[in-house]
């Protein structure tokens, strides 16, 4: 059993036969491993690798950050494409782009000869102050799952493992290593779990990352209910769970992690030191059968990613290609959101505006290499100023004084410094830095034709200056082609079509997590007292006017909504029904609209949100063109999670079907009756 085998001998073993059934390969390799070798596979080495088992030809399984491009810290300083961050990608409301992004990201991982990407990050935006909001997608569980599933599918289509993170309720960075997220079962089911569950059920995700924080008093990496019972037994997850880096440090014991279903402790052994594993096994605190199940999960993904296969059998990698650069730019173009456009100041006519003043701290600031574990080192980065210079060459002069300019563009916002949009710390303030506010106010006094473009990954307070600014754009962290994409939108080469995946509050206290220190930031515990009323669910239901609503985004054209039809008046049981609506581009230029469908339960025995997103489609229309958009819905779309019966429930009665261009701008309304 312990005999050292030659390479030729290893090649003849059944688990090396790529034609053999996957589970048979896993079983064959597992039975050849000694107990000590199994212990070896339970933890990492050199930060991002598993330990090799040379006796059996098991190479290191290599993992790399991060969610919008490969991290230099985890890839020997590799230069890689810097894609727009998750908040920008989600603002495209384009699942097809998400899948293309997943494919491209995986190709870059393959090119550096790694096997797993630590992403996507799908934690819900609970507070605007969370330092990692830019890495996450949205406040809404439906949009979250619809944009996460295609990323996982895209990544794994290239035989690279996706690692969905951070499981679960890691919604703040402050106290993230110790805080317990105290959250109801209904909020878990309706808000925080859906994207994680969908990546398993719909995309067969190969890995999950356990969170640092506790959930209802138990650390994520030893949470048997979350990992073994829900993820594995209920959802059918076949992959492995890896700890966030050093997330096991404060867990209770070796056996609590093993018995919960944590396969891999990274980046080094703490609870999974061989002596501890052996002692707990000898004392009967876990069984070898449980250990075997955990190890099988890692072996399964090693096989799926081609760790044992001939290089010719795995998809080729590619990195920093023109195709990837074009995709990065496309995501940026579709994700940038036009928030305000008074008197149709935008798009700019390059023949009219001859002198432009460009100012602000983010005008020429590169953003790729920052933010913590999600940093990327691109071969180049087009800053906003570079993008404008590329666009305006020989046509528009970039001048020094706001007063002599035809137009001023201020690039304001945040960056990846501590206390802004960064891992390991939440934002210090909801406001822009005071010097930026002063700059905006002073500039608009000198020149009323002032545009503010925000570079940030989360909502920013604009009250006090936005009233006097005619045009505002949210450009997020839009990747290495950001500057070119921004210039294309400013001058109308691209018609903006991004929509907010989060609500922008007027003031921080309007946000549901900011009722008291109990609800944020908490201390040993942070209480999710708002329950299911996260984001627009809270603003709508409590009748609080946001600065900009969820789903908001302007265009340089206009769209009309007509002729809403529902194919039946009543449904029962598991019946499906379709909703159709006609969308017409009623403006004078081509553009894309995100058609959003919300469901409203007219009367219910429990409190429900005023409306909930249950469908969306992005449609491209030429001027004057009309298309019919069709949605299919079912009982689950009418249901809430009933804590009394621990199941999803749709009650008899009327439901309004609302279709519009944001959560606030509803253009068509229909009604359906549900009868059990």
Contact 488, 547 (CB under 8 A): no
- Distance of alpha carbon 84 from the chain centroid: 11
Q: Is residue 12 part of a domain?
A: no
- Residue 311, pLDDT score: 82
**Residue 386: strand, helix, or coil:** helix
Contact 209, 167 (CB under 8 A): yes
Q: For 56-67, how does the pLDDT look when each residue is reduced to its tens digit (9 = 90+)? A: 999 999 999 989
Q: For 557-576, how does the pLDDT look when each residue is reduced to its tens digit (9 = 90+)? A: 999 999 999 999 999 998 99
Q: Is residue 195 part of a domain?
A: yes
**Residue 472: strand, helix, or coil:** strand
Residues whose CB falls within 8 Å of the CB of residue 413, separated by 6 or more in sequence, listed in order: 362, 432, 436, 453, 454, 455, 456, 460, 475
* Residue 516, phi-psi category: left (phi > 0), alpha (psi -120 to 50), beta (remainder): beta
User: Domain ends where: 249, 284, 313?
Assistant: 313
Residues 364 and 395 in one domain: yes
- Residue 612, pLDDT score: 98
Contact 594, 555 (CB under 8 A): no
> Rounded CA gap, 437 and 439, in Å?
5
Residues 69 and 148 in one domain: yes
> Rounded CA gap, 192 and 384, in Å?
35
The residue segments making up the domain with residue 147 are: 22-313
Contact 521, 508 (CB under 8 A): no
> Rounded CA gap, 502 and 249, in Å?
33
DSSP state string for 265-276: B-SS-STT-HHH
Classify residue 566 by burial, with Cβ atoms within 10 Å: 0-12, 13-18, 19+: middle
- The residue-averaged pLDDT of 648-665 equals 97
Q: For 476-507, how does the pLDDT look when each residue is reduced to its tens digit (9 = 90+)? A: 999 999 999 999 999 999 999 999 999 999 99
% of the chain exceeding 70 in pLDDT: 100
Domain CATH number, residue 621: 2.60.40.10
> Rounded CA gap, 506 and 548, in Å?
8
Cβ atoms within 10 Å of 62's Cβ, excluding its own: 19
Residues 332 and 309 in one domain: no
Residues 520 and 626 in one domain: no
- Residue 521, pLDDT score: 98
> Rounded CA gap, 478 and 258, in Å?
40
- Residue 310, pLDDT score: 85
* pLDDT above 80 for 259: yes
* pLDDT above 60 for 1: no
Residues 254 and 401 in one domain: no
244, 421, 488, 637: the catalytic one is 244
Q: Is residue 401 part of a domain?
A: yes
> Rounded CA gap, 328 and 321, in Å?
11
**Residue 597: strand, helix, or coil:** strand
Contact 240, 263 (CB under 8 A): yes
Tokens 């304001």 correspond to 412
* Integer CA distances (angstroms), 531 to 31, 126, 590, 595, in order: 47, 11, 41, 27
What is the per-residue burial (b if ≥16 Cβ within 10 Å, else e) of 221-243? bbbeebbbebbbeebebbbbbbb
Query: E-strand spans in 35-100?
Result: 44-45, 49-50, 63-64
- Residue 24, pLDDT score: 98
Q: For 16-31, how does the pLDDT look when each residue is reduced to its tens digit (9 = 90+)? A: 999 999 999 999 999 9
As given in the structure block, the two tokens for residue 36 are 């000590």
> Rounded CA gap, 189 and 220, in Å?
16
As given in the structure block, the two tokens for residue 76 are 């020997």
Contact 324, 108 (CB under 8 A): yes
User: Both ends of the chain: CA-CA distance in Å?
Assistant: 60
Contact 58, 33 (CB under 8 A): no
Contact 132, 427 (CB under 8 A): no
**Residue 626: strand, helix, or coil:** strand
Mean pLDDT of the chain: 97
- Residue 276, pLDDT score: 98
> Rounded CA gap, 409 and 544, in Å?
31
> Rounded CA gap, 548 and 500, in Å?
8
Would you place residue 5 in the very low, low, confident or very high pLDDT band (cuts 50, 70, 90)? confident
Contact 119, 64 (CB under 8 A): no
Q: For 198-220, how does the pLDDT look when each residue is reduced to its tens digit (9 = 90+)? A: 999 999 999 999 999 999 999 99
Would you place residue 46 in the very low, low, confident or very high pLDDT band (cuts 50, 70, 90)? confident
- Residue 210, pLDDT score: 98
Would you place residue 3 in the very low, low, confident or very high pLDDT band (cuts 50, 70, 90)? confident
- Residue 4, pLDDT score: 80
Residues 429 and 461 in one domain: yes
Which residues are 626's β-sheet partners?
584
Contact 560, 500 (CB under 8 A): no
* pLDDT above 60 for 309: yes
Residues 285 and 340 in one domain: no
**Residue 110: strand, helix, or coil:** helix
Domain CATH number, residue 50: 3.20.20.300
Could you tell me the pTM of the whole model? Answer: 0.98
Q: For 340-387, how does the pLDDT look when each residue is reduced to its tens digit (9 = 90+)? A: 999 999 999 999 999 999 999 999 999 999 999 999 999 999 999 999
Residues 534 and 572 in one domain: no
Would you place residue 545 in the very low, low, confident or very high pLDDT band (cuts 50, 70, 90)? very high
**Residue 136: strand, helix, or coil:** coil
Strand 207-210 relative to strand 116-117, pairing = unpaired
Would you place residue 230 in the very low, low, confident or very high pLDDT band (cuts 50, 70, 90)? very high
Q: Is residue 319 part of a domain?
A: no
Q: Is residue 552 part of a domain?
A: no
Contact 87, 137 (CB under 8 A): yes
Residues 482 and 609 in one domain: no
| 404 phi/psi in degrees, rounded to 5 | -90, -5
> Rounded CA gap, 83 and 67, in Å?
9
* pLDDT above 70 for 670: yes
- Residue 302, pLDDT score: 98
Three-state secondary structure string covering 37-49: HHHHCCEEECCCE
Which residues are 262's β-sheet partners?
241
User: Domain ends where: 488, 510, 541?
Assistant: 541
Give me the torsion for CA of 43, 46, 47, 51, rounded to 10°: -30
Residues 179 and 260 in one domain: yes
Q: For 506-534, how does the pLDDT look when each residue is reduced to its tens digit (9 = 90+)? A: 999 999 999 999 999 999 999 999 999 99
Q: In total, how many domains does the chain have?
A: 3
Contact 319, 379 (CB under 8 A): no
| 460 phi/psi in degrees, rounded to 5 | -130, 140
DSSP state string for 162-214: EEEEEETT---STTTTT-EEE--HHHIIIIISHHHHHHHHTT--SEEEE-SSE
Residues 308 and 367 in one domain: no
Residue 426 annotated to the active site = no
Q: For 86-122, how does the pLDDT look when each residue is reduced to its tens digit (9 = 90+)? A: 999 999 999 999 999 999 999 999 999 999 999 999 9
Residues 67 and 207 in one domain: yes
* pLDDT above 90 for 44: yes
Domain CATH number, residue 497: 3.40.50.1700
Q: Is residue 107 part of a domain?
A: yes
Q: Is residue 412 part of a domain?
A: yes
User: Domain ends where: 279, 313, 347?
Assistant: 313
- Distance of alpha carbon 421 from the chain centroid: 15
Q: Is residue 62 part of a domain?
A: yes
């Amino acid at each position: 059993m312990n005999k050292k085998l030659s390479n030729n001998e290893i090649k003849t073993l059944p688990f090396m036969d790529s034609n053999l059934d996957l589970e048979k390969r896993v079983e064959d390799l597992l039975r050849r491993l000694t107990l000590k070798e199994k212990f070896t596979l339970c933890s990492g080495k050199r930060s991002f690798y598993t330990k090799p088992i040379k006796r059996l030809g098991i190479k290191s399984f290599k993992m790399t950050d991060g969610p919008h491009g490969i991290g230099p810290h985890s890839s020997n300083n590799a230069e890689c494409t810097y894609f727009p961050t998750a908040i920008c990608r989600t603002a495209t409301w384009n699942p097809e782009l998400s899948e293309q992004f997943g494919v491209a990201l995986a190709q870059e991982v393959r090119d550096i000869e790694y096997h797993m990407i630590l992403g996507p990050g799908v934690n819900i935006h609970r507070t605007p102050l969370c330092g990692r909001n830019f890495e996450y997608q949205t406040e809404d569980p439906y949009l979250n799952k619809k944009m996460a599933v295609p990323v996982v599918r895209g990544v794994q289509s290239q035989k690279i493992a996706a690692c969905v993170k951070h499981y679960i309720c890691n919604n703040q960075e402050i106290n993230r290593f110790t805080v317990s997220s105290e959250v109801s079962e209904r909020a878990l089911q309706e808000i925080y779990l859906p994207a994680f569950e969908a990546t398993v059920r719909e995309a067969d995700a190969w890995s999950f990352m356990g969170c640092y924080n506790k959930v209802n008093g138990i650390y994520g990496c030893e949470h048997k209910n979350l990992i073994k019972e829900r993820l594995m037994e209920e959802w059918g997850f076949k992959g492995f769970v890896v700890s966030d880096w050093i997330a096991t440090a404060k867990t209770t014991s070796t056996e609590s992690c093993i018995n919960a279903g944590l396969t891999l402790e990274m980046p080094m052994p703490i609870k999974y030191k061989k002596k501890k594993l052996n002692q707990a096994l000898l004392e009967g605190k876990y069984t070898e059968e449980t250990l075997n199940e955990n190890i099988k999960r890692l072996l399964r993904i090693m096989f799926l990613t081609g760790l044992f296969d001939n290089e010719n059998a795995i998809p080729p990698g590619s990195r920093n290609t023109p195709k990837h650069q074009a995709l990065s730019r496309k995501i940026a173009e579709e994700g940038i959101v036009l928030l305000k456009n008074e008197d149709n100041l935008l798009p700019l006519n390059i023949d009219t505006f001859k002198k432009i003043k460009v100012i602000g701290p983010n005008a020429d600031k590169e953003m790729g290499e920052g933010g913590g574990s999600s940093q990327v080192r691109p071969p180049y980065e087009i800053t906003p100023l570079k993008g404008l210079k590329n666009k305006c060459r020989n046509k528009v002069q970039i001048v020094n004084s706001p007063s002599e300019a035809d137009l001023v563009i201020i690039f304001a916002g945040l960056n990846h410094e501590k206390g802004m949009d960064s891992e390991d710390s939440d934002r210090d303030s909801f406001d822009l830095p005071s010097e930026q506010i002063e700059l905006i106010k002073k500039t608009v006094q000198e020149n009323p034709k002032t545009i503010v473009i925000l570079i940030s990954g989360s909502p920013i307070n604009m009250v006090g200056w936005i009233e006097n600014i005619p045009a505002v754009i949210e450009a997020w962290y839009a990747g290495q082609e950001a500057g070119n994409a921004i210039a294309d939108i400013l001058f109308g080469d691209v018609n903006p079509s991004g929509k907010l995946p989060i609500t922008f509050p007027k003031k921080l206290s309007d946000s549901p997590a900011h009722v008291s220190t109990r609800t944020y930031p908490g201390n040993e515990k942070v209480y999710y007292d708002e329950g299911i009323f996260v984001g627009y669910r809270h603003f709508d239901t409590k009748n609080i006017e946001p600065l900009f609503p969820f789903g908001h985004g302007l265009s340089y054209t206009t769209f009309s909504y007509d002729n809403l039809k529902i194919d039946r008046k009543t449904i029962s049981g598991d019946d499906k029904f379709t909703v159709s609506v006609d969308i017409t581009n009623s403006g004078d230029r081509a553009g894309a609209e995100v058609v959003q469908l919300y469901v409203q339960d007219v009367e219910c025995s429990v409190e429900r949100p005023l409306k909930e997103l249950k469908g969306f489609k992005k449609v491209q229309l030429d001027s004057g063109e009309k298309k019919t958009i069709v949605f299919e819905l079912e009982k689950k779309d009418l249901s809430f999670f009933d804590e009394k019966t621990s199941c999803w429930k749709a009650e008899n009665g009327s439901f309004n079907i609302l279709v519009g261009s944001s959560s606030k701008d509803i253009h068509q309304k229909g009604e359906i009756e549900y009868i059990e």
